[in-house]
Amino acid sequence: MIQFLLRRLLLTIPVLLGLTALVFVIARLLPGDPVALAAGPNATAADIAAYAREFGMDRPLWVQYLSYLGGLLRGDFGVSIFTRRPVIEDLAAYLPATLELVVAAMTLAMLVGIPAGLWAAAQRDRWPDYLSRVVALGAISMPRFFLGLVLQLVFAMAMGWLPLGGRFPITEDLPLRVTGFLTLDALIAGDGHAFKVACQHLLMPALAMSLSPLATLMRMMRASTLEVLQQDYVLTERALGLPQRLILLKYVARNAVSSTLTVTGLYFGWLLGGTVLVETIFDWPGLGLYATKAVVTQDFMPIIGVTLVIGTLFVAANLVIDLLYGVINPKVRQP
C-alpha cells in the first residue's frame, strides 16, 4: 500500500513540473505585451523598461522560470500585472468558492443519482427504466449555462423563492472563516441561520452543475446493480436464505462507492474547468471568473497560478480516487 502511494506520488512530481514548464512557456509566448499595456498609454519607453524590471521580465526565460519555481516553494505565485495584487491572495479568495460549488454539485449528484440508478435497475425494462434513460441523456445534453438561466428565471425572478446570485446576503456578516466553505464554516460556528442562507445561495448553481454527473452516476449505478443481481454469488447467498435487502446493500453499496469514485474522477476536471459558465450567471465569486478574466487579459501570473492549482487538484483528486479504489478493491493494488 505504501509502495503504491509512494510510486504514484513520485510520478506526480514530474507531471506537475512538466505542467508548470509547459504553461510558463506558453504564457510567455502569447502574443501581446502585457507589460506595455499595464504601464499605461502614457508610459514612455523608460517607464515600460522600469515596469519590466519590476516584474523581472527583462531576464532570460529560463531564469524567470527558475525564479518562479523558487517563488512557488515559498508560496509566492507571483503578482498579477494588472491588479498588482499577489496571485496567492486571489487564489485564496476564489478557490474555496469554486470548490464549494464543485463539492456541492457532486453531493447532489450522489444524493439523487444513486437512488435513481437503483430504482431504474429495479424497474428494469419497464417504462420508468426507459424514461430514466431519456432523462439521463437529456440531462447530459443540457447546457449548464442554459439550465442555470432557466432555474434563475423560474425560482429567483418569477417565484422569488431563492436569491438571484452571490454566496451570501451582503448586509450580513460572514461566519468566521475556517475552511472557506461558507456552509461548513457556518456549521462549525453553530450558526443555523447562516447555514440555511448559504445553502439557499448554493442550491441553484450546484443544481445546474450537478446534472451531468448525476445522469452518468445514475446510469452507472443501474448498469452495475444489474450486473450484481445476476452474479452467481448473489444467487448463492439468496439460496442460503439471506434477505434480498442485505445482499443488495452489501454489494450495491460497494458498487455505489466505486461508481461514485469513477464519476468523480471523470467529472472533477470537467466541473472545475466549467464552473465559469455557472459562476457568470449566478455572480459566484469563484476561480472560473477569475481565470477567464486572466485569460482574456493575458495576465500571465494568474493564468499560470490557476492552471497549476487546477492541475494539482486534478492530480491529487485522481491520486485519492486511485487509493480509494485500492481500498475497496484489493485486486487493483498489484502494480
Site for another protein in 201-240 (CB under 8 A): 203, 223, 226-227
Residues 247-262 as b or e (16 or more Cβ within 10 Å = b): bbeebbeebbbbbbbb
Output the smallest distance, CB 198 to another protein, in A.
Answer: 11
**Which residue among 51, 55, 181, 290 contacts another protein (CB under 8 A)?**
290
Q: Which stretch binds another protein (CB under 8 A): 2-10, 17-25, 66-74, 99-107?
A: 17-25
Q: Please give the angle made by the CA atoms of 98, 103 and 108, to the nearest 5 degrees.
A: 125
**Is 111 or 332 the residue whose CB approaches another protein more closely?**
111
Map residues 298-317 to x or -, x wherever contact with another protein holds by CB under 8 A. x----x--xx--xx--xx--
**315/247 Cα distance (integer angstroms):** 35
| Residue 121 touches another protein, criterion: CB under 8 A | no
Output the smallest distance, CB 237 to another protein, in A.
Answer: 18
**Which residue among 2, 46, 170, 240 contacts another protein (CB under 8 A)?**
170
Lookup result for grid cell 491588479: 83
Map residues 50-89 to x or -, x wherever contact with another protein holds by CB under 8 A. --------------------------------xxxx----
Q: Which stretch binds another protein (CB under 8 A): 56-64, 101-109, 165-173, 258-266?
A: 165-173
| Residue 119 touches another protein, criterion: CB under 8 A | no
Contacts 24+ apart (CB under 8 A), 66-71: 68/20, 68/24, 68/304, 69/20
Lookup result for grid cell 428494469: 124
For residue 42, give every residue at least 6 positions away whose Cβ sits within 8 Å of its Cβ, in sequence order, or none: none
Which three cell numbers, joined as nine digits, stand for 151? 432555474
Output the smallest distance, CB 281 to another protein, in A.
Answer: 7
| Residue 153 touches another protein, criterion: CB under 8 A | yes
**Which residue among 127, 245, 331, 335 contacts another protein (CB under 8 A)?**
245
**Is 1 or 161 the residue whose CB approaches another protein more closely?**
161
**82/297 Cα distance (integer angstroms):** 9
**Is 166 or 330 the residue whose CB approaches another protein more closely?**
166
Which three cell numbers, joined as nine digits, stand for 330? 484489493
Instruction: Judge whether 109 and 213 are in contact, CB under 8 Å.
Output: yes
Q: Which of 291, 267, 265 is nearest to 280 (CA)?
A: 291
Size of site (CB under 8 A) for another protein: 89
**66/77 Cα distance (integer angstroms):** 13
**Which residue among 94, 181, 251, 325 contacts another protein (CB under 8 A)?**
94
Which three cell numbers, joined as nine digits, stand for 271? 466541473
**Which residue among 8, 297, 323, 324 contacts another protein (CB under 8 A)?**
297
Sign for the pseudo-dihedral over CA of 177, 182, 186, 187: negative
Lookup result for grid cell 452474479: 231
| Residue 46 touches another protein, criterion: CB under 8 A | no
| Residue 40 touches another protein, criterion: CB under 8 A | yes
**Is 210 or 307 the residue whose CB approaches another protein more closely?**
307
